[in-house]
């Protein structure tokens, strides 16, 4: 009896433990999956974040090393009617915000001979830095002794250095200019510091003006409009020809249909690079080279789009069509009134794929629109020029990239479903 009860209790406990373990296991797995997904998402998004934040930086902030993501700009203070950048300097143990007025003085950097780094004197550990000429506001003095000390085969000048009334013989490791810093609120406080290594007073600030500058001054406004016109016409044209062609292939029987369809299928495999040279020749013959129409008319035909539309149309039940025919609708009426309203998702998918293709296309515009013909440039060409012209201005370059990438991004956010599902379906067929 007793053992029986015991085993029963054990079973219940076991089940509870197993259930709990299962739950823990599930959550551990879930959390691990989330961590992995978030890590990958970060990697995927980082270049975009970098683009956006860099596009909002100032021309000097972009070259900050080590790199940082967020845009900072230096804060200036007014002194005698002019604006100067503020630095953080410690004077007599007190941290102050001081400005560099543009004056500088030559300084000597002194140390004991054993601390000198012979290969890189500037890397030596410095005991004291003193001006080599008379300047105000610095206590202590250095007087040349005329002697030298030899360290590692090199001669260094020896100086009598006086600090706080005590004189000491030190070697001059190197000379260098230091910026004269003054406190704008207390102009009597003066010190000297290296402006390059002294931290600046900075503030998080977004340079939205970069966008204005890129759009208005780098031809991006022009190329955005051109790209929009080209993309719109190509997308509309492809959808229309694909609808008509897809309907003919899926719903009509005519001599030569299957042969033409096979040829179309074959063309899907042919890469564009095979066409690029003859198409260029053709454009030259017609006289379209360097004109926007060269980016539009040759792209109205799409074997792939026609094929996709046909595949969608054959899934529409035949009865619908027959009913419409009985109602006296013409062929064109059937396509327009029955098929088109039913194929919203298919049309959206095709339009989106075409939009992306037209908006992002690069090699054909590069070939057919010459470099100097900026009024007819599309966005990718402008980016390519920006890449050449703004090599020392990463902020301007990435502002351009952001402007070019933004429209497809907005479209993606608005119509995410069609994108992802449209792409996913292509893989299943």
Contacts of another protein in 201-230 (CB under 8 A): 221-222, 225-226, 229
Stretch that binds another protein, among 10-18, 134-142, 183-191, 294-302 (CB under 8 A): 294-302
Q: Which stretch binds another protein (CB under 8 A): 80-88, 143-151, 167-175, 327-335?
A: 327-335
Pull the structure tokens for residue 332: 């064109």
Per CB under 8 A, which of residues 363..382 are in contact with another protein? 363, 366-367, 375-376, 379-380
SS3 392: coil
CB of 49 to another protein, least distance (A): 10
Among the listed residues 240, 265, 314, 389, the single contact to another protein using CB under 8 A? 240
Beta strands 141-151 and 154-163, pairing class = antiparallel
* Residue 85 beta carbon to another protein: minimum distance, rounded to whole angstroms: 20
CB atoms closer than 10 angstroms to residue 119: 8
Euclidean distance between CA atoms 158 and 287, whole angstroms: 80
**CB-wise, 194 or 267, nearer to another protein?**
267
3-state DSSP assignment of residue 146: strand
Residue 116 vs 386, nearer CB to another protein: 386
Please report whether residue 362 would count as binding another protein according to CB under 8 A: yes
DSSP assignment of 40-60: HHHHHHHHHHHHHHHHTS-TT
Which of positions 117-176 make contact with another protein (CB under 8 A)? none
Q: Which of 2, 139, 259, 428 binds another protein (CB under 8 A)?
A: 428
Q: How far apart are CA 173 and CA 123, in angstroms?
A: 9
Nearer to another protein, 64 or 160 (CB): 64
The neighbour count for residue 39, using CB atoms within 10 Å, is 10
User: How far is the C-alpha of 41 from the C-alpha of 380, rounded, in Å?
Assistant: 26
Least separation in angstroms between CB 168 and another protein: 36
Cis omega (within 30 of 0) for bond into 234: no
Q: Select the span of 88-96, 106-114, 181-189, 330-338 touching another protein (CB under 8 A).
A: 330-338
Which positions from 246 to 285 touch another protein by CB under 8 A, shown as an x/- string? -xxx--xxxxxx--x---x--x-xxxxxxxxxxxxxx-xx
Residue 333 is a binding residue for another protein (CB under 8 A):
yes
**Stretch 27-66 residues interacting with another protein (CB under 8 A):** 29-30, 33-34, 36-37, 40-41, 43-48, 50-51, 54, 62-66
Closer CB to another protein, 253 or 318, in the complex: 253
User: Which residues 6+ apart lie within 8 Å of 189 measured at CB?
Assistant: 91, 96, 98, 137, 182, 183
β partners of residue 182: 99, 190
The greatest distance separating any two alpha carbons of the chain, rounded to the nearest whole angstrom, comes to: 115
CB of 81 to another protein, least distance (A): 35
- Residues 311-327 as b/e (b if ≥16 CB within 10 A, e otherwise) read ebbeeeeeeebeebeee
Interacting residue with another protein among 171, 303, 308, 338 (CB under 8 A): 303
Q: Which residue has the tokens 């975009």?
A: 48
d(CA 424, CA 429): 9
Site string for another protein, 375-414 (x = CB under 8 A): xx--xx--xx-xxx-----x--xx-xxx-xx--xx--x--
Closest CB to another protein among residues 256, 372: 256
Cβ nearer to another protein, comparing 33 with 143: 33
Least distance (Å) between residue 151 CB and another protein: 27
The two tokens of residue 401 are 């990239």
Q: What is the DSSP string of 71-97?
A: -EEE-EEEETTEEEEEEEEEETTEEEE
Rounded CA separation 344/217 (Å) = 40
With CA atoms as reference, report the closest residue to 192 among 181, 200, 177.
Answer: 181
Q: Which is nearer to another protein, 51 or 142 (CB)?
A: 51
- Candidates 10-18, 113-121, 172-180, 233-241; binding stretch for another protein (CB under 8 A): 233-241
């Amino acid at each position: 009896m007793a053992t029986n009860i015991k085993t029963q209790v054990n079973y219940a406990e076991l089940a509870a433990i197993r259930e709990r373990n299962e739950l823990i296991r599930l959550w551990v797995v879930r959390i691990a999956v989330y961590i992995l997904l978030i890590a990958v998402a970060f990697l995927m998004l980082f270049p975009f974040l970098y683009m956006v934040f860099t596009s909002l930086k100032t021309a000097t902030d972009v070259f900050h090393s080590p790199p940082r993501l967020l845009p900072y700009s230096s804060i200036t203070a007014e002194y005698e009617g002019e604006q100067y950048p503020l630095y953080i300097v410690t004077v007599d143990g007190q941290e102050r915000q001081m400005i560099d007025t543009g004056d500088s003085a030559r300084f000597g950097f002194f140390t004991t001979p054993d601390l000198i780094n012979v290969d890189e004197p500037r890397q030596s550990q410095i005991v004291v830095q003193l001006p080599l000429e008379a300047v105000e506001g610095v206590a202590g003095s250095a007087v040349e002794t005329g002697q030298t000390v030899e360290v590692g085969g090199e001669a260094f000048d020896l100086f009598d250095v006086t600090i706080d009334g005590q004189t000491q013989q030190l070697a001059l490791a190197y000379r260098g200019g230091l910026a004269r810093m003054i406190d704008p609120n207390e102009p009597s406080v003066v010190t000297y510091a290296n402006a390059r290594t002294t931290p600046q007073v900075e503030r998080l600030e977004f340079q939205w003006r970069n966008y204005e500058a890129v759009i208005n001054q780098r031809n991006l406004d022009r190329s955005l409009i051109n790209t929009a016109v080209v993309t719109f016409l190509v997308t509309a044209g492809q959808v229309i020809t694909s609808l008509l062609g897809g309907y003919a292939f899926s719903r009509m029987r005519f001599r030569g249909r299957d042969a033409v369809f096979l040829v179309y299928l074959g063309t899907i495999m042919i890469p564009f690079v095979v066409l690029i040279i003859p198409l260029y020749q053709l454009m030259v013959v017609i006289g379209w080279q360097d004109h926007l129409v060269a980016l539009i008319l040759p792209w109205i035909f799409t074997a792939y789009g026609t094929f996709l539309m046909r595949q969608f149309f054959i899934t529409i039940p035949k009865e619908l069509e027959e009913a419409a025919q009985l109602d006296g609708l013409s062929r064109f009426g059937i396509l327009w009134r029955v098929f088109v309203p039913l194929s919203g998702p298919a049309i959206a998918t095709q339009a989106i794929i075409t939009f992306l293709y037209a908006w992002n296309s690069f090699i054909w515009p590069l070939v057919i629109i010459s470099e100097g013909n900026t009024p007819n440039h599309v966005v990718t060409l402008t980016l390519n020029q920006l890449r050449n012209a703004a090599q020392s201005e990463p902020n301007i370059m990435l502002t351009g990239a952001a402007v070019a990438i933004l429209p497809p991004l907005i479209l993606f956010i608005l119509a995410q479903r069609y994108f992802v599902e449209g792409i996913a379906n292509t893989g299943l067929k």
